[in-house]
Amino acid sequence: MRSLSEKLTAFRLLKRTGEKVGMLTAADYPTGRLLDEAGVDFVLVGDSLGMVVLGYPDTVEVTMADMVHHLRAVRRGVERALVGADLPWHSYETPEQALENARVLVEAGADAVKLEGGRVMLPQIEAIIGAGIPLVGHIGMLPQSVREEGGYKKKGRTEVEAAGLVEDAKALDRAGALAIVLEGIVPAVAAEITASVGCATVGIGSGVDCDGQVLVTADLVGGFPWFRPPFAKARADVAGSVSGAVREYLAVVKGEL
């Protein structure tokens, strides 16, 4: 097993050498282990697990207890990649609360923590990084704010919004963020952000000109057939395979096959 500092150094080197960052989400041991064995750079225990594992309509209901439970399982499966975990909604409202909960996630096995928000979150971000905990930022479309925003809306469409996103990214980079997730940002703006910061940008629905890409693994493997965002290409049909196996098993059990 590589040390945390070896993993962080290898991760930071990716942007410098121009190798793209491959990040995917996991919420259980087998998925974490499969991603790690396939060579993923960063396994994210994202709060999207609230939707694709726990069946909530969005990420807002996810608790620290949920995150710790899933993070522990993923941690047991990952030896090589960095493991990051989301601070869920309402778990980082003050710098003190953010640091306390970041420490809980580190204790449960996280190498890094992620939270949503730009300059408005700087006090929380500085508290976490100041305590020596690697932090991944997340700007653009923020799923934890979906209810206030009334839906998932593309970000960076106006000049003012685009300039604000660039300033957010620069502030996070100056604060020492390990990486920044760019979600649902107009591709040209994501490209400008990527060129403006020293840390890696990891895009989701933000075009190809980021330093890497992240997807919810259920979307990548066709594991959640009831909804898949339009930018996510399913490269397998896990739901179809499961349904087929279950139907075949039932037919055998019931003597129809």
Crossing angle, helix 64-77 and helix 95-107, to 10 degrees? 30
Which CB sits closer to ligand KIV, 204 or 245?
A: 204
Out of 183, 192, 248, 256, the active site residue is 183
Which CB sits closer to ligand KIV, 105 or 181?
A: 181
> Least distance in Å: CB of 208 to ligand KIV?
16
Q: Is the dihedral of CA 58, 113, 170, 10 positive or negative?
A: negative
Q: CA nearest 46: which of 219, 206, 253, 241?
A: 219
Name 203's bridge partners: 182, 213
Binding residues for ligand KIV (CB under 6 A) = 25, 44, 46-48, 86, 181, 204, 214, 216
> Least distance in Å: CB of 249 to ligand KIV?
31
Residue 192 CA to residue 201 CA, distance in Å, equals 11
Which CB sits closer to ligand KIV, 31 or 48?
A: 48
Name 166's bridge partners: none
> Least distance in Å: CB of 251 to ligand KIV?
36
> Least distance in Å: CB of 5 to ligand KIV?
24
Half-sphere exposure of residue 64: CA atoms within 13 angstroms, side-chain side: 16
Amino acid at 39: G
DSSP 111-139: SEEE--BSGGGHHHHHHHHHTT--EEEEE
Residues 186-207 as b/e (b if ≥16 CB within 10 A, e otherwise) read bbebbbbbbeebebbbbbbbbb
Which CB sits closer to ligand KIV, 99 or 113?
A: 113
183 catalytically annotated? yes
> Least distance in Å: CB of 247 to ligand KIV?
30
Crossing angle, helix 29-38 and helix 64-77, to 10 degrees? 50
Which CB sits closer to ligand KIV, 139 or 191?
A: 139
Residue 233 CA to residue 236 CA, distance in Å, equals 9
Which positions are catalytic? Answer: 183
